[in-house]
Copies of this chain bind each other. A is one copy, B any other.
Amino acid sequence: MEYAFSDRIKNMTGNAIRDIFKLLARPEVISFAGGMPAADALPAEQIREIASQVLKDDPTGILQYGATEAYAPLRQSAAQFVKDAAKVNCSPEDLFIISGGQQGLDLACKAFLNKGDRVLVERPTYLAALQIMATYEAEVHSVNMDEEGMLLDELEEKLKIYSPKLIYTIPNFQNPTGRTASLERRRKYLELAEKYNAVIIEDDPYGLLRYEGEAVPSIKSMDTVGRVIYVTSFSKVISPGLRVGAAVAAPTLLRKMIIGKQATDVHTNSLSQAIIDKFLRLGYMPEQLAKSNKIHSERMNKMQEMIKQYFPSNVKYTRPSGGLFIWAELREDINTLDVLQKSTQRDVAFIPGSHFFAEGDGLNTMRLNFSNSSFERIEKGIKILAETIAEF
């Protein structure tokens, strides 16, 4: 039968990354496509022990329905975690637990966006954020960046023209470019948001994945009036499969996001919440971060080295200080969708950059993930990619 789908969904064809994932499930495929942390960095044995422990200590608390806000112990330990990690002055009442960081973006958009409302995003930006905004039928405009973040003149101009309700930014090791916004830019984002009355969504899944240099204070840490929604995730440093993140905002605003969550998944699964809580309380985080950052940074260096050695010299690429991604720009007449088609025939995958542009341009760009491939696969994969690019 023919279905009368909603406007928000009828023309939507799905998230390119998640569809590439499925195509590339064969083990022989070398995938630089996803944003997966290193499989060998996942603390499987610790999680196994903790799961058994928490199910012994609090079976009913974990297996029965829980509060939408959080599994209570995690609300406390996560608030302490955010305080330490992002220097946000955060009490348990300022935070709630979400089913992965991405749900924070969804709930923030749900709380603010009517059909046709405007949002400003970075250019390029996280493709799932663009997909979420499309489901709320928002009008999305993007702001160009340099190595220090969004260009301030352009940001102000677009704030003036479009009066957006939201500004969406990933200040640390941005997805897809790997760039980190400077302290000065972050201050200015907040000033401009104040001047033009926009709310900032500060998406920070990668902040702790720093391989060199000093952490830059979060925008939320400078927010005194409740203008920033800060979203973080345990996916990249403990486990993506557990689906646990946290969102921090002023209580009035948080309440609306919690109401939005009541209507979607009731509450985040309690077993994963209890595991993350125990992991934090046992003090496993510093060692886990040291281990995973070591693996990731070695792989990033390896990929940098291989790109330098094999890619055509006219390819420009970033060297991030952390995170999971390298961003490359090829010769202007090359379309990376065509490159992908050829490289997948040789079992190598990446994400064509155009998926990260609100306006669908950036055809000559690509995002490369290094974190979940061995040195051997990085070497082999980059070599094949270089050969494929050279054919254009």
- Residues of A at the B interface (CB closer than 8 Å) are 1, 3-10, 12-15, 18, 21-22, 34-37, 39, 42, 44, 47-48, 51-52, 55-56, 59-68, 99-100, 102-103, 106, 110-115, 117, 128, 131-132, 134-136, 165, 197, 199, 225-227, 235, 239-244, 250, 252-253, 255-256, 258-260, 262-272, 275
Residue of B nearest to A243 (CB): B269
> Residues of B contacting A266 with CB < 8 Å?
18, 100, 102, 128, 243
> Residues of B contacting A269 with CB < 8 Å?
99, 241-244, 269, 271-272
**A6, B114: Cβ atoms closer than 8 Å:** yes
Report the bound CA distance from A103 to B67 in whole Å.
Answer: 16
> Residues of B contacting A240 with CB < 8 Å?
63-65
Report the bound CA distance from A13 to B263 in whole Å.
Answer: 12
**A6, B63: Cβ atoms closer than 8 Å:** no
- Choose one: B110, B197, B271; the contact of A51 (CB below 8 Å): B271
- Choose one: B103, B113, B263; the contact of A106 (CB below 8 Å): B263
Known: A52-B51, A264-B264. A270 touches B241 (CB 8 A): yes
**B103, A264: Cβ atoms closer than 8 Å:** yes
**B44, A48: Cβ atoms closer than 8 Å:** no
Interface centre among A8, A106, A242 (most CB of B within 10 A): A8
**A135, B18: Cβ atoms closer than 8 Å:** no
Known: A99-B99, A132-B263, A265-B100. A6 touches B112 (CB 8 A): yes
**B3, A62: Cβ atoms closer than 8 Å:** no
Interface centre among A51, A255, A262, A263 (most CB of B within 10 A): A263
Report the minimum CB–CB distance from A16 to chain B (whole Å). Answer: 10
Report the minimum CB–CB distance from A109 to chain B (whole Å). Answer: 8
**A39, B14: Cβ atoms closer than 8 Å:** no
**B63, A47: Cβ atoms closer than 8 Å:** yes
Interface centre among A1, A63, A102, A225 (most CB of B within 10 A): A63
Report the bound CA distance from A102 to B44 in whole Å.
Answer: 30
- Choose one: B14, B34, B56, B267; the contact of A243 (CB below 8 Å): B267
**A135, B110: Cβ atoms closer than 8 Å:** yes
Report the bound CA distance from A75 to B270 in whole Å.
Answer: 22
| A and B contact pairs by CB, cutoff 8 A, 6 listed | A1-B227, A4-B197, A6-B117, A18-B262, A47-B63, A132-B263
- Choose one: B68, B128, B253; the contact of A18 (CB below 8 Å): B68
